[in-house]
Amino acid sequence: MRVLLVEDDAMVGAAVRQGLLLAGFAVDWVRDGVQADAALASVDYDAVLLDLGLPQRDGMSILAAWREQGQHVPVLIASARDAVADRIAGLEAGADDYVLKPFDLDELVARLRAVLRRRGGQAKALLYAWGGQLVMDPARHEVTLSGAPVGLSAREFAVLEVLMRRPGEAIARTRIEESVYAWGEEVGSNAVEVHLHNLRRKLGIERIVNVRGVGYKVDA
């Protein structure tokens, strides 16, 4: 899953980026509101982690503008503004959650995953496909097929997670690529196809369906 990190503090941004990478997210990091606007206009992010005290443009005004424009990307505010009025204002402006600095990275990741689940209409932390035969635990980075563990690389896991968050829906190859690769990462022309080939080999060809001319899907 690809996340836009909007944070102007170099130390905080570097630590959060590293924590999200270790949790399996692809992360693009920008340091001001203007860059955040440009990034969100060019990439279909799964979520945004937004600081409020940004140079050039305040995070609260950015969030309000996104919602007015019909931008529904999940947004988790991470800010040192701890007054109740600030938290209420952030949520009223359209944030999906609000976490106070300094925060624990594990809690931040857990809150981010919870926001993604809610936006996807999923109450449980686990993802299911094929009538419950295929089960994914994103937090533990574990996949089981009919109860047996399946060993996947980090990229294979990321590609499968994109598909399992939208079971039954065909996802275009370009959308999969955007979800698992951040800026600056070298992406081969057939990288996603290679990961999908490996997944079909490990899980069974029938469990990842190629919808010709549309994309790939796993059945619910």
For residues 39-47, average pLDDT? 91
Which residues partner with 27 through β-bridges? 3
Question: 3-7, 9-13, 73-77, 136-140 — which is least confidently predicted?
Answer: 136-140
Give the pLDDT confidence score for residue 119 in this predicted structure. 76
- pLDDT class for 10, splitting at 50, 70, 90? very high
pLDDT value, residue 146 = 92
**CA dist., res. 217 & res. 151, Å (int):** 20
SS3 153: coil
Q: Is residue 213 scored above 90 in pLDDT?
A: no
Model pTM score: 0.79
Indicate the burial class of 55 (C-beta count within 10 angstroms; 0-12, 13-18, 19 or more). Answer: exposed
Question: Using one digit for the tens of pLDDT, what is the confidence trace for 91-114?
Answer: 999 999 999 999 999 999 999 998
Closest CA to 182 of 67, 78, 27, 8: 27
Alpha-carbon distance of 46 to 32, in angstroms, equals 19
Domains observed in the chain = 2-119 (3.40.50.2300), 127-217 (1.10.10.10)
Kind of pairing, strands 75-79 and 47-50? parallel
Asked whether the predicted pLDDT for residue 141 surpasses 70, the reply is yes
Give the pLDDT of residue 121.
65
Give the chain's length: 220
Give the pLDDT confidence score for residue 122 in this predicted structure. Answer: 64
